[in-house]
Structure 1
Amino acid sequence: MKQAHHPELEEMTLVAVMGALSDPIRIGLVRVLADGRERGWGELRAPVAKSTLSHHLRVLRDAGITRTRQEGTRCFVELRRGDLDVRFPGLLDAVLDVAHSDDVGAHVGVADDPRLA
């Protein structure tokens, strides 16, 4: 993986963020990452092919929602909560609240999640 581009705060647009959050898999990934922990891509579980999961992670990164870090051959991802809260105050909390109450993205998790076994 070449060095990934992460939009600066002023480059993040509402249209890009809302577009990235328009998919249940991506909302599920945001729900998983909302705990503040950096996750290895290999830890993430979703009912899609690995290449499709990679696409979803790229969409989130390109919108500025996540930050990806490469360490050797492994990639790690984390939610850019602080940046999102500064640029779009309250948006992430609102999305997460509704996603939780409507169970959107609940089929996405991490490798040790018993719900996905």
Structure 2
Amino acid sequence: MLNYVSKAADAAHGVLRADQRLDFAKRLRARIEVERHGSQSAREVAKVLARFGDPAALVEREARRLAEQGSPPSATWPPRACRPPRRWRCRGRARGYADVPRHRGRP
């Protein structure tokens, strides 16, 4: 079950905002718990997960639901004007220096 929720959360990465993704994963896990009725049988859990279908399809449905509510998905959030300049973004630097701009040549 946790593997299924993890796959769904991975599929939601880049589609939903972080807060939306966390809420989606939490609600999905709770719904699976309700559907399996406390069963510990791997066969019963597999049947429940099969009824839920492909995790990517669940993410698409969630993105449509959020769009209908007027909550923007990740692809349009934050607007480009609100993003930090590219030179300030993390480039895989270690030790917390990601927010320090790199020097581009001599002053």
Same fold (TM over 0.5): no
Structure with the bigger percentage of helix: 2
* Larger strand fraction of residues: 1
Q: Which has the higher contact order (CA 8 A, sep 6+)?
A: 1
User: If the length of structure 2 is used for normalisation, what is the TM-score?
Assistant: 0.28
Instruction: Work out which of the two has the higher radius of gyration on C-alpha atoms and give 1 or 2.
Output: 2
